[in-house]
Structure 1
Amino acid sequence: MNPLRGIALKVLSVMVFTTMAICIKLAAGRIPPGEAVFFRSFFAIPVILVWLAWTRNLAHGLETRNPMGHLWRGLVGTTAMGLGFTALGLLPLPEATALGYAAPLLTVIFAAMFLGEQVRVFRLTAVMVGLVGVMIVLAPRLTLTSFDATSKLQTIGAMAALLGAVFAALAQVFVRKLVQTEATAAIVFYFSATATMLSLATLPFGWILPDAREAALLMSAGFLGGIGQILLTESYRHAETGVIAPFEYVSMVLSLLFGYTIFREVPTLPMLLGATLIVAAGLFIIWRERQLGLRRSLARKVMTPQG
């Protein structure tokens, strides 16, 4: 274990994923979300295959015992990606990022509902606080005082971001089941392959031929998505989840910075307040999970007979 290396890889993966989101947002003016999903997924596959070959895991890394599990994860994950890309095109970057943080909060609830995981009062309270933050971010987009086209589109974007977070949380529930029998490489590869195939179903809804700039942005998003996934996977090899998970929220700082410098997006007070509550709730849940993990580890050591 090398915690500093794990943290560095995690932060680097967050930077790469944020850059990927910027590429998608820059191309979102004309490119439909389904087409963006195709490019993001298809051009990630070569990166993943090269990584598997480099790590000499290509022969056995794609073996699977649960093909239907990959299919279901692909369905909900692709839906989440499409909704997230829709939100990126319609909302300021920091706002879309903040609403996306609802996913880990909802994962706690869905894991209790579908996997039977225990959710005690501390985590449940944190989830409620985080969801209050989500509503604070959403509130300005749900008012009926403005009926101009821009406001309507931003309302659609906000709802897409929230619904995307719901599907992202469901995808994480499927991943939690898949990791019991599947290698990480298989989970990553089959998701990209499934998303590529499913995105083709949106062809009748208005794909366009991208120009050179748009094509470069979309292909870059795919390559960056594959690289980011590899960096994220490698980060968990060098440090425990509880150590590196909080660094996911570096993306909020990056989104505020790039949203202002690239897109001239000035964050509003409700967005900042809501994002603060969401991040605080997420950090508390991560801290609580780490504490519980340490207690379980200590209990196992106590119960293990000493030779």
Structure 2
Amino acid sequence: MKAIVYDRYGSPDVLRLEEIPKPELGDDDVLVRVHAASVNSWDWDLVTGTPVLFRFWGLLRPKHRVPGADIAGRVEAVGKNVTRFRPGDEVFGDLCQCGWGGFAEYARARESALTPKPAGMTFEQAAALPQAGAMALQGLRDEGGLRPAQKVLINGAGGGVGTFAIQIAASLGAEVTGVDRTEKLETMRSAGAAEVIDYTQEDFTAGGKTYDLILDVAAHRSMFDYARALNRGGTYVMLGGSIGRILQVLLVGPWIARSEQKKMRLMPAKANHDLAALGELFHAGKLSPVIDRCFPLSEVPDAFRYFGEGRARGKIVITV
């Protein structure tokens, strides 16, 4: 089969298309014929080896030669212990906890990592959904406790996680403000943001407006800046960031919570978190993946370069 492989950490130049054997199927495994995959920040971190935490999968060289977490496709074969799927079923899911390997014609997954693809959803849409959609849902609903009529600000709202978060927050009845760069303003409006802020022109933490929930996809500011933009009793949820930012929310967050009654949380992401709920939102017409560009498998290095520029509006999808 054809697959994107890499043998050392680095820029997208380390990625190359090769012919490699199909994954061997274990008793508890599902073999999926991949029709589409998508690029996430975790894929970028895995390939570049930064931050160092991502070298858990190989300190000096990658443990998993084929990157790619989010996939959508058809079941090709199942192990003898698999009960939920059979050949021909259309599925999607995030493979980050079962060996990665999504940027290939075939991928092996644990049964628990896959969910039936909703009827009416294309493979490209399904591939865009698992990681970014699950993070947005978890951050807003589970960690943030978002309720109807609350004011929520999403920082970094024009990318993959952000465009899902806007739609999910709006579906929960929130008043949504999106923050991102100039060329993503219309994307945020189209996704359902009632207000948009261009961070190159305006500092949302200094304007005096406050919010009940801040979902932070970008994580470039200090905890004190974010706390200033929170209502008393409000919640800040960080989805990820540099080691310095993570340490800041862990060390400074408890002090802000005690002194100002503002919760500052770092979200531990859960792979494939409630994908069924995301499918229900899709069926209800309340959620539709925003796809910026589709690249063929052979052009995954170019897709990574485009992702690295930080200008993608919504998701970048790989067609296989």
TM-score (normalised: structure 2): 0.27
TM-score (normalised: structure 1): 0.28
More helix by share: 1
More strand by share: 2
The higher relative CO (CA closer than 8 Å, separation ≥ 6) is in 1
